[in-house]
Amino acid sequence: MTVLGNVLGRATIILDEGGVDLEKASDNLFAADPQALYERWDEFRNWLSGWQPDFDRVAAVPLIEAELLSPAPFPSQVFGIGLNYRDHAAETGAEMPGRLAVFTKYPTCITGGFEEIVLPDGGTVDHEVELVVVMGRRAHHIADWEAWEHVAGVCVGNDVSERTLQRAAGNQFSLGKSFPGFGPMGPWLVTPDELTQPDDLALSCVVNGEVRQSSRTSEMVYPVSRIIEEISAVVPLLPGDVIFTGTPAGVGWVHGRFLEPGDVVECTIESIGTIRNTAGHA
């Protein structure tokens, strides 16, 4: 079971028994910094495959949601994919683009799966449940058939979006998707080999108990492997980089509904987990 968490800034192996601190478990072979671990991802995976937990030496600590931060807290690059589910494109009235639509979320927007979504004043803030990919190897000019080998793992994300700002500047989405707290991701990183069907996972977004989005990642126009091929044809993807892979139908703005203080947004992906972020004012 290879699941890696970030507990209060420390890389943590997630087991059924609880979280085991990686730096301690590895006798300082690996440092605590979760982001730095992606630079040594292959080495980490090799070490982990031979590791046996010894709870007398390093205890498994109960996991507390509020302590689970982003598994990739400081990525060099964060990519978002627009209109990657046909039903979402249809609900917005947008025409399908002729090729992959890539934008950026500036990395300072990244937060954990249980942190607050801080609403800007007068904001028209919306939710987008998405499968999030974290890279485990540098990827430049990578073909689709070898793309998954460059992925460290996947987690659940919410591509939080300020719609007025997003749409005010033509197709330049990035500022509208990059307020602090607009990139929740978690609850932890699951390696692709844990997933029997990494390209076919149920995903949903529930706001205050009401299902708003529900689909499967197999509905993506460009699956993960094609996204990596297309981006890496231009930009080298670096270990620890993050890709938000697009959202299905059911976002709020097409129904005139935006997040309000106190709203609880739960995003879930099958075989990975659930993140839960409450909206609030700064």
- Using CB under 5 A as the binding rule, whether residue 247 contacts Zn ion is answered as yes
Question: Minimum Å distance from CB 159 to Zn ion?
Answer: 3
Q: For Zn ion, which is the closer residue by CB, 115 or 130? A: 130
- Give the nearest residue (CB) to Zn ion: 159
* Token duo for residue 121: 């004043």
- Using CB under 5 A as the binding rule, whether residue 159 contacts Zn ion is answered as yes
Q: Which long-range CB contacts under 8 A does 259-266 form with residues at least 24 apart?
A: 259/117, 259/119, 259/123, 259/125, 259/126, 259/127, 259/207, 260/119, 261/119, 263/207, 263/208, 264/207, 264/208, 264/209, 265/117, 265/127, 265/158, 265/205, 265/206, 265/207, 266/205, 266/206, 266/207
- Using CB under 5 A as the binding rule, whether residue 204 contacts Zn ion is answered as no
Q: For Zn ion, which is the closer residue by CB, 159 or 162? A: 159
The interface region with Zn ion, picked from 66-74, 154-162, 202-210, 259-267 by CB under 5 A, is: 154-162
The interface region with Zn ion, picked from 24-32, 86-94, 131-139, 239-247 by CB under 5 A, is: 239-247
Question: Minimum Å distance from CB 173 to Zn ion?
Answer: 9
Helices (H), the chain: 22-25, 34-37, 41-49, 86-92, 163-168, 224-232
Q: For Zn ion, which is the closer residue by CB, 22 or 165? A: 165
The interface region with Zn ion, picked from 180-188, 216-224, 247-255, 256-264 by CB under 5 A, is: 247-255
The interface region with Zn ion, picked from 57-65, 98-106, 109-117, 155-163 by CB under 5 A, is: 155-163
Q: Name beta bridge partners: 12.
A: 5, 21
Point out which residues bind Zn ion (CB under 5 A): 128, 159, 247
